[in-house]
Amino acid sequence: MNTLNVFLDSIKEIKWFSESGTLPDGCLIFDSMAAAIVEDDDTADANLDTVRVGTFRADNVLDAAHAAWSAVFTYTARSNAPRHAIRHAARDASLLAGCIAAWDDPSEVNTAYALRRWSVWTAGYGLLRDTNGVLYCYRGWK
């Protein structure tokens, strides 16, 4: 099984908003998505946008991104998370899938960035955004 398929299969194992894992360094943790939004300074999530522009050019990369997006919506269907939290997770899953399809190298700078973002979700937290290298994470959505 290739790396992309392993990643896509792993999405179904995530314990959404369980707070069961360890967050990466450089996170601000808020009690809710609403609290994270209040503290958000509206700085552009430039790193995410840069990776997207540089990554999503080939059809196989777009196909991988779409597959990840779909997998997140499929496996979160029974969760209590609202659609906007699920969209945030799908955004980061599609980013990582695109990086895997493009490079399949975890040390490649864009992939490392996507892995850092995705590690928030796998730890059981939500990710609002990256503001100047600080990940705005939240425990819930209320």
Distance of alpha carbon 103 from alpha carbon 141, whole angstroms: 33
Question: CA-CA distance, 65 to 140, in Å (whole number)?
Answer: 25
Q: How far is CA 85 from CA 40, 47, 92, 123, in A?
A: 16, 20, 11, 15
Backbone angles phi, psi at 134, to 5 degrees: -100, 125
pLDDT at 5 over 60: yes
Average pLDDT over residues 8-28: 94
Strand partners, 130: 135
pLDDT at 111: 92
pLDDT in tens, 96-111: 999 999 889 999 998 9
> Mind listing the pLDDT tens digit for each residue in 46-95?
666 666 656 556 667 778 887 888 888 888 877 777 788 888 999 999 99
The pLDDT of residue 142: 56
What is the predicted pLDDT for the residue at 29? 95
How do residues 116-140 score in pLDDT, each as one tens digit? 999 999 999 999 988 888 999 999 7
In this prediction, residue 119 carries a pLDDT of 98
Structure tokens at 102: 């493009």
